Amino acid sequence: MDENGEFESYIGPDGETWLFYDYDTLFAHYEEPEDFYFSIYAANQFEDYFDYNEPFVFFETYTSSLEYFYYYDSNGYICELLTETDEDGNIIGFNVLDSYDSCPLVAEGWTYAEFVLDEDFNPVYYTGPDGELWYFYSEEELFAQPEIEEEPFYFGIYGASPFEYNFDVNEVYAFLETYDEGLDMFYYYDSSGAACEFNSDFDENGNI
């Protein structure tokens, strides 16, 4: 027996410890959790790329009946959404609940959200707590990043006769530049006005 005088365990005929259970516990019907998951993002409609300074939300559910969703927004709010359906079983809205004491939007008046599907029954948008239409996006759509164009290669350097201390600007000096990452070709300009093209010659180690 345990410290409260309740039956706890005994040594069974197999020499192992057997625990005591009441009838309801021992013969309860256990339903294995569904292996189902669905999630989707939503934000105010945008073009091209989403501005991460703007709020966005995340919906998720673990039930294939879609009876409820967990709602998380980028401000840290967590709400529970109970699904409302039409006579054909299509979702038409959500009742918004503050089930976890972390959804102040309910106290502010957001207790119901209308929900719209397209003709293929894909989610399109819902009415958000600001009264605006919030559109649904996949993770890839919401977090897409513009392709960053690499800056073109450039290298430039000056040349002059050796000098000590300060260069005499009355002397001729040159400037070499290239846009070729392989350094196969340079443009050459000097202060006398000459302009030439240099084609590089390399040794067996790839050095000019």
Instruction: Answer yes or no: are the C-beta atoms of 95 and 110 closer than 8 Å.
Output: no
The answer as to whether 7 is a domain residue is: no
Query: Does 92 lie in the same domain as 56?
Result: yes
pLDDT reading at 29 higher than 60: no
Distance CA 27, CA 142 (A): 48
The answer as to whether 159 is a domain residue is: yes
pLDDT reading at 194 higher than 90: no
Q: Which domain holds residue 121?
A: 38-142
The answer as to whether 3 is a domain residue is: no
Query: Does 129 lie in the same domain as 75?
Result: yes
Could you tell me which residue, 38 or 13, shows the higher pLDDT? 38
The answer as to whether 31 is a domain residue is: no
pLDDT reading at 34 higher than 80: no
The answer as to whether 194 is a domain residue is: yes
Q: What is the pLDDT of residue 158?
A: 84
The answer as to whether 131 is a domain residue is: yes
Task: Summarize pLDDT for 129-186 with one digit per residue, the tens.
Answer: 999 999 999 999 998 887 777 778 888 888 888 877 787 878 888 888 898 888 999 8
pTM: predicted TM-score of the whole model, two decimal places: 0.56
The answer as to whether 116 is a domain residue is: yes
Domain count, the chain: 2
Query: Does 115 lie in the same domain as 45?
Result: yes
Instruction: Answer yes or no: are the C-beta atoms of 173 and 162 closer than 8 Å.
Output: no
Q: CA torsion sign, 41 to 45 to 51 to 52?
A: negative
